[in-house]
A and B are shown apart, each in its own frame.
Chain A
């Protein structure tokens, strides 16, 4: 990710502690309520969630614009298609 880009998310969801595939379903439902082009911030656990959720988000046609490693968790910025 490039540090100079500062994207302000339109909405956010904290999915730390939420298991697969509920974390993806919650992400999907949140995105459904947003407008095309808006950005959602998602907080995900390391491990299975960070391995699976980005793939599913991509399959749905949305764009992951930023990934930030917070140690035990990840902060994802997703642009709705």
Chain B
């Protein structure tokens, strides 16, 4: 290694998606590791700990805001070894720069009672398909399983949040009023007989009424994703626009595909998709991208 020139001593192919971030310290970099949806096996954690102990010249890791593990203070000469040793357990390096980032997700519907949609498998699937695609600027996606929105999809370039549409059947209702109690939005009010009066304009489609109903009078008619586009944080935060409700699960990849395509065609270099929407108009984004999905 010592005989090699500066340009030869690292495999540049390993760096094409970024993930190696320059630090203050000469020749030291932060190595950002991919943890889609923030879910990580103990096996990978142990390997990361081992590698960090061996190669971090500063002696610590950092948990990034977007659920990645970052090994701090890795010397440029150690890049190859770090990548190779982590690959033994399938642990990959994440990305930085103007491209599709690793998606974030909430804990997941397998163990969280509020969960409506399966964010963890979606995050893995989406990471597999879209990770590292070059864009005008960074492109961040996130998945929340329910309207509590732990993943903060309003801050995502493209965010997906689980929703469920409740329907009530009169025959099964015994007038217990628990649904009205369970509803935190005031969308359900009990009438004199204890039966629910539903005001859909106030409903956030969380499914609390369905979960609370002891007689299954409230059921889910359909589940899907509320889609938000154009959110970002940073120096000038912008809240995403909710562009579509109840996108079917099997249309998520197509929607991402169409949005990235639109962003590449319309976005200027260093312009986030939200800024691009502000410049060209949300109506254009809706017409070009959303309308084809609104009918599905």
Contacts and interface: CB of A to CB of B under 8 A. Distances in A.
Contact of B212 (A54, A65, A66): A54
Interface in B164-185: 174-178, 181-182, 184
A59 interface: yes
Contact of A58 (B174, B175, B212): B212
A58 B213 CA distance: 8
Given A54-B212, A55-B208, A59-B211, A2 B178 contact: no
A50 interface: yes
B248 interface: no
B214 interface: yes
B42 interface: no
A51 B214 CA distance: 13
Interface in B200-229: 208, 211-214
Interface in A14-62: 46, 50-51, 54-56, 58-59
A67 B176 contact: yes
Contacts, number: 42
Given A55-B182, A59-B113, A66 B176 contact: yes
B127 to A, nearest CB: 31
Interface residues of B, number: 15
Contacts of B134: none
Interface residues of B: mostly helix, strand, loop or mixed?
loop
Given A1-B194, A64-B214, A51 B184 contact: yes
B177 A65 contact: no
A17 B174 CA distance: 28
A56 B177 CA distance: 16
Nearest to A2: B174
Centre residue among B177, B184, B212, B213 by max chain A CB count within 10 A: B212
B65 to A, nearest CB: 29
A50 B184 CA distance: 12
Nearest to B194: A1
Nearest to A49: B181
B182 A58 contact: no
A63 B214 contact: yes
A58 B211 contact: yes
Contacts of A1: 174-176, 194
A65 to B, nearest CB: 7
B50 to A, nearest CB: 38
A69 B212 contact: no
A50 B182 CA distance: 8
A69 to B, nearest CB: 7
21 contacts: A1-B194, A2-B174, A2-B175, A46-B181, A50-B178, A51-B181, A51-B182, A51-B184, A51-B212, A54-B214, A56-B113, A58-B212, A58-B213, A63-B214, A64-B176, A64-B214, A65-B214, A67-B177, A67-B178, A67-B214, A69-B177
Given A55-B212, A64-B178, 7 more contacts: A1-B176, A1-B194, A51-B181, A54-B178, A54-B181, A54-B182, A66-B176
